[in-house]
Structure 1
Amino acid sequence: MAYGKLALEASRRSGEYVSAGDREAWLSLFADDAVVQDPVGVSPLDPSGEGHKGKAAIGAFWDMIIAPGSIDFTIVSSHPAGDECANVVHMVNTMPGDMKVVVDMVVVYTANAEGKIVSLKAYWDYDKVMSQLG
């Protein structure tokens, strides 16, 4: 069965909750065994490259990466298919000291039959983002 519409809805709520700074609502979107890879691959944010697995690790990711700033998360376009939805996203993260980091990315959400996110994969260039921080 295709859960693309469920993934689409979850992806939209994810963006809304990130923009609102609502950690608990955001975490409620994930299955207990979900994996977040943001960005996909090895980076200082994910040294193993295997992602943040489970709600405790995903919550820690929120605390480390999302919570310090104020994020404007804009979905430019959505492409649901199968049990996934790929979103083209423009994000502006206003950090303490009013420093703004702009990230254009593709985020792929996979949902289960209950509409919970089981996988979130964000594709963006870590080095390009770090260059904005000087």
Structure 2
Amino acid sequence: MTVTWDAPDSDHPARRAAKASMAAVAEGRKDDWISLFTADALVEDPVGPSMLDPEGKGHRGHEGILGFWDSFIGTAKAYRFDVRDSFANGPCCANVTTITITLDDAGTTMTVDCLPIYTVDDDGLITSMRAHWEPDRAMATLTRP
């Protein structure tokens, strides 16, 4: 469970939040992850309708975001984040990222190429995380050992 950062690394509140978010997911720290979000934050992962969010409305507030963790993030065995580029300006940070998800004990993996965009408030808490990726492309990478 790792985060590899091969991208610009200048200090920026949204970049710090993005790094903390990825580290918490990679390390399975649910409580630490939720503490990074405002009480009314929105998580869209992926943006739009998908098998994870059929209506495409996202997961709002701590309760909704925790439900997303419990039904998706927490069900995987491991995450590896490889960040290849990062663009931070205003209250946002967009990262060009590949996430390798180990789905089960047998070592089944899926690779998600994505562009997650983190937006933070004046206190550095995440108000939204919008991950742009295509579920069909990710499903096509499903590899069973």
TM-score by length of 1: 0.92
1:19/1:73 contact within 8 Å kept? yes
Q: What residue in structure 2 maps to residue 130 of structure 1? A: 139
5+ residue gaps, structure 2: 1-10
Deviates more, 1:73-82 or 1:106-115: 73-82
Letter in 1 for 2:27: A
Is 1:90 the equivalent of 2:104? no
Letter in 1 for 2:121: N
Structure 2 residue matching 1:73: 3-state secondary structure: strand
Structure 2 residue aligned with 1:28, among 19, 31, 35?
A: 35
Q: Distance in 1 between matches of 2:17 and 2:97?
A: 15
5+ residue gaps, structure 1: none
Aligned residues: 131
Letter in 2 for 1:81: N
Structure 2 residue matching 1:105: 3-state secondary structure: strand
Shift of 1:87: 0.6
Q: What residue in structure 1 maps to residue 65 of structure 2? A: 58
1:15/1:75 contact within 8 Å kept? no
Q: Distance in 2 between matches of 1:41 and 1:92?
A: 21
1:80/1:86 contact within 8 Å kept? yes
- Percent identity over the alignment is 37
Letter in 2 for 1:76: R
TM-score by length of 2: 0.86
2:111/2:142 contact within 8 Å kept? no
2:113/2:138 contact within 8 Å kept? no
Q: Distance in 2 between matches of 1:52 and 1:77?
A: 26
Deviates more, 1:70-79 or 1:21-30: 70-79
Is 1:119 the equivalent of 2:122? no
Q: What residue in structure 2 maps to residue 108 of structure 1? A: 117
Deviates more, 1:64-73 or 1:35-44: 64-73
- Decide which structure has greater helix share: 1
Letter in 2 for 1:131: A
Q: Distance in 1 between matches of 2:142 and 2:81?
A: 19
1:15/1:74 contact within 8 Å kept? no
Letter in 2 for 1:33: D
2:44/2:129 contact within 8 Å kept? yes
Q: Which has the higher contact order (CA 8 A, sep 6+)?
A: 1
Structure 1 residue aligned with 2:56, among 17, 25, 49?
A: 49
